[in-house]
Amino acid sequence: MFRLGLLVCFYDDLELLDATVAQVLLHQMIKCSHLRGFQAGVQKLKAELLDIATENQTLNETLGSLSDAVVGLTYSQLESLSPEAVHGAISTLNQVSGWAKSQVIILSAKYLAHEKVLSFYNVSQMGALLAGVSTQAFCSMNSKDLSQVLRSAVSQYVSDLSPAQQQGILSKMVEAGDTASGIVEIQGAFFKEVSLFDLRRQPGFNSTVLKDKELGRSQALFLYELLLKTTRRPEELLSAGQLVKGVTCSHIDAMSTDFFLAHFQDFQNNFALLSPYQVNCLAWKYWEVSRLSMPPFLLAALPARYLASVPASQCVPFLISLGKSWLDSLVLDSYKKTSVLRKVQQCLDNSIADEYTVDIMGNLLCHLPAAIIDRGISPRAWATALHGLRDCPDLNHEQKAAVRLKLLGQYGLPQHWTAETTKDLGPFLVLFSGDELSSIATKFPEILLQAASKMARTLPPKEFLWAVFESVRNSSDKIPSSDPMPGCHGVAAPSSDDIFKLAEANACWALEDLRCMEEDTFIRTVELLGAVQGFSRPQLMTLKEKAIQVWDMPSYWREHHIASLGRIVLALNESELEQLNLNSIDTVAFLTQQIEWSPRQAESILQGFLDDSGYNIQDLKSFHLVGLGATLCAINITEIPLIKISEFRVVVARIGTLLCSTHVLAEFKRKAEVVFGDPTEWTSSVLQELGTIAAGLTKAELRMLDKDLMPYFQPSAIKCLPDEIFKELSVEQIASLGPENAAAVTHAQRGRLSPLQLQSLQQALDGAKTHSWQHAPASSGPTRTSSSGSPAGAPLSWGLWLGCPLLVLMAKLLW
């Protein structure tokens, strides 16, 4: 067995195995997680070995020797375990990955039942099971123990906690008294949960302390401004990674030419952290001070007409530079993107001659027009181009059609493909019709399944899913149940193996198939079914009825049942939601992970929590507010003033992610004024922190905002502004929105704007320069010149005219 290596993953001679050998095999199969395309077979084999390994022994006796196959135990098997058995096997259980939420809840409860008191030691032993600790249990811990947890190895699992659990830990540490030291100790992504309110009242931050922390944009805006006032070495702030999120246009404008050029690499190293508005500001600064040495990709952040300044001799650097960035995040306006791509095509002369050209294009390959894909890529370059195209996340319909035709021309119809060709073209199988895929599904079902398994993060086309579904159904044993449910005679219901293989293609099951599913199959696969995004409302209703059949009415469901259902809970009506036991905020948090609740369902969840927990609105803690999530939008606006300011102020950013009605947002905005003062006093960091709450501003308050604050609205807040209020923005305010916020303006909001406002909106989309130094009066001193010798802000070709004062004067006036 030890000599088999990865071949152990395909071991199929199980008849004569005893329990001891099965346990050894299971331990050897840990390495099988590397075989991404064969996980369905691996899981089936593990399940069979698990049954053999536990023969004639209780689970309590064998739990610690089952390796990572323990994730195949059902919730009823886990519930049968004793707390002592879980405690004894914790060194194995805490290292296993792939636990379902319901399993983590059950095992954590068993472990903590043995431990009685929650301390640093027993929490540090939990590893992957940490997410099963309740929010209330975290809040009952000693703050020093919690602080040790965040410094220990188990802190790597903090990211698995729900927002409510994270807020519970944070609130406990802050209330302990020594807030500053507590906040400083928080590392990584968890630091983003620290509120702007708490940051603003704590001194002692420096760039060194912040290096290992992930910052939200509101935090970065505040901290960069704070540290800039106290540091003697501002370059350290730029090299501190996440702090670059807080660099504003005014900061960039104030940098001397030498400092900017010397430290531009810090911006480039952290390009993924920059907003489109920051990139736009950097582009204008570079254009002003040293346009001849300007990284060519920055030209894409300037208005489209500046692309004309790229001469043919600079096409290669332009393509390389632009190809290293993702164009969709750099250019948000479709018209401007068309101009950029037109320049790219001009540089390519509408053709790709060789592999070298493909290499220099980088990510630009994903934006090639269909015509170039179809006719402009030479045979010599096609293989390399095809390899690059497989990594493109969002090819449009025309591009996909062009790639498909090219593949048909090269390889012929799919029914003639070999297994090797089908494997090579796996990522492109989604481009073919159901009829074209039917032969692949028949000849090479395993290859089709492997291709589907690698698309887990995207939702493939329906035709592709149907092909996957048919391939699994055709290759599985259709054995009707010997004891079918009424009305299910002759129906080959889904098996656990089918459901595991199908993943998102489970959306193709007929209602009759789902209704006739065996109870054991539902229990083993409910979490997989709850994760399927493509289920229709009737399918979710059928699965909900199956859950009621298996677990009885919702009033009997426990937290792990609700956690396992995923999207299936959306089928619960108001009456059924009222039956749920919602006295725990963690149970509510599982419900609010779903975002498709109707207003009446949301109201039922909110009221159910208040009734079952015995809390009033004024009793809610910060972690309750976070756990309630979008159901807070269902709150009666007369009750929002009852929320304690001390709890509200530390979760403003979380509430600012909610897409509530205008009336609810307006009431939250009034609460925000108590925390951050009058809107006329708000800063860029406050606007970022508020998120959608800023959409509760009145017409008068919105008009009074400084135009330089407009880029610091979150795009979600722009979308939430009512049309009749958005139209009250001045021409200057709209022009100052920045590319990202301008792209967030809705069609309805556009419809209420005047021609001048629409012109300003297009300027913002195009990246026109609006920051203050653009408007410096002509009489304020000599014209600033760039290192190229041209007047600041002038097109590159004007540098050739400097010998003629009259032309220079005319050009400046026109500019």
Tokens of 233: 């070495």
Contacts 24+ apart (CB under 8 A), 346-349: 347/310, 347/312, 347/315, 347/316, 347/318, 347/319, 348/319, 348/372, 348/376
| In the predicted structure, residue 93 carries a pLDDT above the cut 70 | yes
Q: What span, in angstroms and rounded, lies between the C-alpha atoms of 190 and 421?
A: 46
Q: What span, in angstroms and rounded, lies between the C-alpha atoms of 761 and 770?
A: 12
Q: Helix, strand or coil for residue 188? A: strand
Nearest residue to 296 (alpha-carbon basis) of 268, 257, 274, 277: 268
Q: What Rg do the C-alpha atoms of the chain give, in angstroms?
A: 30
Under DSSP, the state recorded for 187 is -
Half-sphere exposure of 434 (CA within 13 A, CB side): 9
Tokens of 675: 């925390």
Q: What span, in angstroms and rounded, lies between the C-alpha atoms of 135 and 514?
A: 35
- The pLDDT, as a whole number, for residue 189 is 87
Beta bridge partners of 377: 352
- Whose structure tokens read 């704070």? 226
Q: What span, in angstroms and rounded, lies between the C-alpha atoms of 727 and 734?
A: 9
Q: What span, in angstroms and rounded, lies between the C-alpha atoms of 299 and 89?
A: 59
- Whose structure tokens read 């006796």? 61
More reliable by pLDDT, 132 or 461:
132
Q: Helix, strand or coil for residue 298? A: helix
In order of 655, 657, 787, the CA distances from 665 in angstroms are 10, 11, 49
Residues 691/714, Cβ–Cβ less than 8 Å: yes
Contacts 24+ apart (CB under 8 A), 788-795: 788/290, 788/291, 788/292, 790/291, 791/815, 792/288, 792/289, 793/287, 793/288, 793/769, 795/306, 795/308, 795/309
Q: What span, in angstroms and rounded, lies between the C-alpha atoms of 134 and 118?
A: 11
In order of 342, 367, 394, 738, the CA distances from 337 in angstroms are 8, 10, 15, 16
pLDDT, tens digit, 9 for 90 and up, residues 486-533: 888 888 889 998 999 898 999 999 999 999 999 999 999 999 999 999
The one-letter amino acid at 431: L
Tokens of 538: 């009737």
- The pLDDT, as a whole number, for residue 48 is 87
- The pLDDT, as a whole number, for residue 480 is 60
**37 confidence band (pLDDT: 50, 70, 90):** low
Q: What's CA 4's distance to the chain center, in Å? A: 39
| In the predicted structure, residue 809 carries a pLDDT above the cut 60 | no
Residues 260/266, Cβ–Cβ less than 8 Å: no
| In the predicted structure, residue 202 carries a pLDDT above the cut 90 | no
- Whose structure tokens read 């539902």? 522
Q: What span, in angstroms and rounded, lies between the C-alpha atoms of 288 and 785?
A: 8
Main-chain dihedrals φ then ψ at residue 458, nearest 5 degrees: -120, 160
- The pLDDT, as a whole number, for residue 790 is 38
Q: What span, in angstroms and rounded, lies between the C-alpha atoms of 476 and 813?
A: 77
pLDDT, tens digit, 9 for 90 and up, residues 391-416: 888 889 999 999 999 999 999 999 99
- Whose structure tokens read 């390889």? 411
CA diameter of the chain: 100
**210 confidence band (pLDDT: 50, 70, 90):** confident
Name the pTM for this structure: 0.89
Q: What span, in angstroms and rounded, lies between the C-alpha atoms of 366 and 77?
A: 49
pLDDT, tens digit, 9 for 90 and up, residues 644-689: 999 999 999 999 999 999 999 999 999 999 999 999 999 999 999 9
Q: What span, in angstroms and rounded, lies between the C-alpha atoms of 383 and 376?
A: 14
pLDDT, tens digit, 9 for 90 and up, residues 777-796: 333 333 333 333 333 333 33
Nearest residue to 162 (alpha-carbon basis) of 510, 560, 505, 589: 589
- The pLDDT, as a whole number, for residue 808 is 41
Cβ-based burial of 762 (10 A; exposed 0-12, middle 13-18, buried ≥19): middle
- Whose structure tokens read 């106290």? 230
- The pLDDT, as a whole number, for residue 812 is 52
Q: Helix, strand or coil for residue 352? A: strand
Residues 6+ apart with CB under 8 A from 293: 261, 787
